[in-house]
Every structure is written in C-alpha cells, then in structure tokens.
A and B are shown apart, each in its own frame.
Chain A
Amino acid sequence: MYSRQTSPKEGAKVILGNLLSLAAENTPLSETGEWIANGFFYVVAAVAVAAALKMVTTKNVVHAALYLLVVLSSVAATYIVLGAEFAAATQVMVYLGAVMVLMLFGVMLTRAQIGKEDNLDYDHKWLGALVATAMAAVMGYSLWEYFGSKTMPDDMAPQRTSEVSGEIFSTFIVPFEALSVLLLAALIGAVVVARKD
C-alpha cells in the first residue's frame, strides 16, 4: 500500500482512509474492545445512579437540576455504547441544551430559594421509597427471568444517522409530521398559558 514515493501527507491520507474503512466495516468487537465498552458502561451507570439518587434527595432545587444534567449526559454516553450516535447527539442538544435551560428558567421564575430549602419533600417519604423499591424489585425479577442470559449480538453495528433518517422519512413519516404539529401546538399552548394578562 505504501510505495516509497508516497509523501508524508499522502501517507497520512492512506492511514486515515484505512481507519475510516475499518470503522465502516461491521467488525465485531474484540475481547478487549468489549471489556473496555463494558467497563465504560458500568462507570457511567454508577455515576448516573449516584447522581439520580442525589437528585431526588437534595435540598437545593438548583443542585437537583444540575444533578439531572449529570444523569442525562450519562444516558447519552450509554447511547454511544449501544451504537445510537444520532440519539446521543439529540440527547445532548435537546436535553442538555434546551430542556435544562427551560428547567433553570422555571426555577428562577418561580423564585425558588437559591440555597437550601426544607419544605421540598412530603413527610411520608418511606411510602414513596416503598413503592419505588417494590417497582424495582418486580421489574428486576421479571427482567432477570426473561432476559437473564441474553447477550447483545456479536456483530452489533452502530446505527448510522443516514439509516435512521431514512427510516424516519419512509416508515415513520406520518408520526414524524404529527410530531411537528404537536411541537407547534405545545409551543403555542405554552405561550398562551404563561401569558401575563
């Protein structure tokens, strides 16, 4: 592949082209690759669960919003592990960008205290904890029962943005258009509801 006359610049081009074609082929992950992906996922998941727990227990409204930011970015990282790159990009743009700004505006406009606040939770927290634990137990049991030994396919390929857009604009074109109308309706509705007069 490399002739002696190749200039460094062209050599770099060849290497880059090889890398890209390697990434384009759906080669299964090597054992090390899978090990790295797994480790990355577990670290991200641990961070997300810890941040989520802090989010529902913290006494500071702004901190809760910022902990949610950590959870949402960890979820975007999980999408990357699953090969859903466009969903990850959308998650970062829509959730981390737009929704979080909206939430912080909500915090500011309702004049929540910036510091600690004591009156954020109901007194009967144990009931909520009971329901949540029961739910986690039921879901965990059924997941374990039905998907206990299922592994992700070895030739798991990333789902490319072009494929996703092809799917949206062919099979799912009607829901997509309906969604556009829904977004417009929600926008107008929010403006009408929140208007000052």
Chain B
Amino acid sequence: MFLNQFLFFAAILFSIGVYGVLTRKNGVLVLLSIELILNAVNINLIAFGAYHQDLSGQVFALFIIAVAAAEVGVGLAIVLLIYRNRRSIDVSEADLLKG
C-alpha cells in the first residue's frame, strides 16, 4: 500500500468540497461541502498516523470530528436564523456588508 493513494483520495475529496463551497448558493449545501473538506483532512491525519505508527493522528482526527459536530450545530442555527429573517437561505442574497 502506498501512502500516496490515501493522500490523493483526500486531495480529490478536498477539491470537490472546495468546488461545492464555491458554486453552491444554498446555505445547507455549503455546510454539506464543508463537511466533505473536513473529512478529507481527517483521512490525511489518519493516513499519516498509520504511516508513522503514531496515535496522535487518530486522536486529532477524533478532535476534528467533535469540532465539526459543534460547527454543524452552530452553522445550521445561523442558516435557520437567516431563513427566518429573509425567507431564503440563498447565501448570495445575504450581502448586507457589501457597500
């Protein structure tokens, strides 16, 4: 098994996630794409942890999973609030900061 096969897999997932974040207008879909990016990072951490036979990789992956769960909770609450105030979760319409 090559180390690179896991790293390439993660890189491809990461790029697909970036594409999703950049092209999606719907707030929930943007959050879904962010999950994809975080998972790609986790694959990298666990692959390097297995490569170096070090437990830190898996521990950090677990930390990221926990932080991602917190992020989804807060992110969805914000999306819900935007929906309640504007009747739409189109992120291109949330442009109050634009001069």
Chain A residues near B (Cβ < 8 Å):
34, 37-38, 41-42, 45, 48-49, 52-53, 55-56, 61, 64-65, 68, 71-72, 75, 78-79, 82-84, 86-87, 90-91, 94-95, 98-99, 102-103, 105-107, 109-112, 117, 119-122, 125, 127-129, 131-133, 135-136, 139-140, 143-144, 147-148, 150-153, 156-157, 159, 163-164, 167-168, 171-172, 175-176, 179, 182-183, 185-187, 189-191, 193-194
Contacts and interface: CB of A to CB of B under 8 A. Distances in A.
The B contact surface, by secondary structure, is: helix
A127 B29 CA distance: 18
Given A106-B76, A131-B22, A186-B73, A90 B65 contact: yes
Contacts of A182: 66-67, 70
A179 B61 contact: no
Given A78-B9, A167-B59, A190 B77 contact: yes
Given A119-B90, A135-B18, A136-B15, A75 B1 contact: no
Contacts of A194: 76-77, 80-81
Given A102-B72, A129-B23, 9 more contacts: A79-B43, A79-B46, A98-B69, A139-B11, A143-B8, A144-B4, A147-B2, A157-B53, A179-B63
A172 B50 CA distance: 18
A154 B55 CA distance: 17
A75 B39 contact: yes
Contact of B3 (A94, A106, A140, A150): A150
B3 A152 contact: yes
A94 B24 contact: no
B17 A121 contact: no
A68 B32 contact: yes
Interface residues of B, number: 69
Contacts of A78: 6, 9, 43, 46
Contacts of B72: 99, 102-103
